[in-house]
Amino acid sequence: MFLTKRYGGDLIHRQRDELGIIEVVDTAGIRSLHFGNKNRQSAFCLAEPEKVELSYIRAMLLNLVFMPQPERILILGLGGGSLVRFFLRHYPATEVVVVEYRRAVVNVARRFFGVPESSRLTLHVADCRDYIQQAVAEGTTPFDQLYIDAFDMEGLSPSINRPDFFEHCNRLLHPAGSLAINLWGHHRLSLNYSLHLLGSRFPDKSLYFRVPHKENVVGFGLGTALNRNAGRESETARGLQQRLALELPEVLPHCITIPATY
């Protein structure tokens, strides 16, 4: 069987939905999800499926330093399901709610990236902004952690980089909870606006981290009742590194506080 070459690897699946192209590419044992360009939306190690492959996803898990034992998390943007697999495997008491706009992405994540069926996983096919707006209006139980990684082939989804979206996320977050959002550093004006929104909606409770050698910037927003303690955070980061192979002790010191007037 002859495989088509794509982005330096073997194209094993390609389809188009109403929003564009979805591709799955295998390169040297790593399976990647693409939306019609070389940027990897998700990656999966075929030999070590429990491994969190992409460095920016591992950086987003700094949330666990701020809030180590989440009981209920919300993931906006499924991609290949790295965060879903991580929490279902390593946090057996955690309820995981996912919102993904494209049903085709859900199907690809299940078929090619090992996203399992689970009684602890609830998956909604919906627009992230519409979902959180409705969740706030209905008084949904707050989430301990939010993970936001919603991109299209151009970058951060336009429905996310808005004041009302960040405000609704703030209101959905437990007062002692934490939020992580993947931002795209390539578009400087868009990034600055995202950091402004994060800083203004989480005043004195927000920070960001530039992922080394990547264009990803990860932003964090902390709940109003979450009190930081440098010693405790460092100890927690070291414990997570030993238990889950997450390089969080290297991420934590390089986080930059976002001023409320950013």
Give the mean pLDDT of 53-69: 96
Distance (Å, whole) CA 156 – CA 33: 16
Write the CATH number for 111.
3.40.50.150
Q: Is 81 left (phi over 0), alpha (psi -120 to 50) or beta?
A: left
| Residue bearing the bigger pLDDT, 184 or 140 | 140
Give the mean pLDDT of 222-246: 96
What is the average pLDDT score of the chain?
Answer: 93
Looking at residue 39, its pLDDT comes to: 87
* Model confidence band, residue 229 (pLDDT cutoffs 50, 70, 90): very high
Is 93 domain-assigned? Answer: yes
Is 20 domain-assigned? Answer: no
Is 6 domain-assigned? Answer: no
- For the entire predicted model, the pTM comes to 0.95
Give the mean pLDDT of 216-222: 95
**Residue 126 pLDDT more than 60?**
yes
Please write the tens of the pLDDT for every residue from 155-204. 577 778 899 999 999 999 999 999 999 987 677 888 898 999 999 999 99
Looking at residue 154, its pLDDT comes to: 55
Q: Residue 234, Cβ neighbours under 10 Å: how many?
A: 15
**Residue 132 pLDDT more than 90?**
yes
Tell me how many domains the chain contains.
1
Is 7 domain-assigned? Answer: no
Location of structure tokens 């995981």:
96
**Residue 1 pLDDT more than 70?**
no
**The pair of three-digit structure tokens given for residue 82, joined into one six-digit string:** 């790295």
Is 227 domain-assigned? Answer: yes
Looking at residue 158, its pLDDT comes to: 72
Looking at residue 127, its pLDDT comes to: 93
**Domain span at residue 156?**
55-257
Please write the tens of the pLDDT for every residue from 92-108. 999 999 999 999 999 99
Is 144 domain-assigned? Answer: yes
Is 238 domain-assigned? Answer: yes
One-letter amino acid of 206: S
Angle at 121 between CA 69 and CA 40, to 5 degrees: 90
Looking at residue 152, its pLDDT comes to: 58
**Residue 54 pLDDT more than 80?**
yes
Find all residues with CB under 8 Å of 127, minimum gap 6, and list them: 99, 101, 159
Pick from 251, 261, 250, 186: nearest CA to 220? 251
**Residue 153 pLDDT more than 70?**
no
**Residue 2 pLDDT more than 60?**
no
Distance (Å, whole) CA 69 – CA 1: 47
CA distances from 66 to 73, 94, 125, 153 (A): 14, 16, 29, 31
Is 193 domain-assigned? Answer: yes
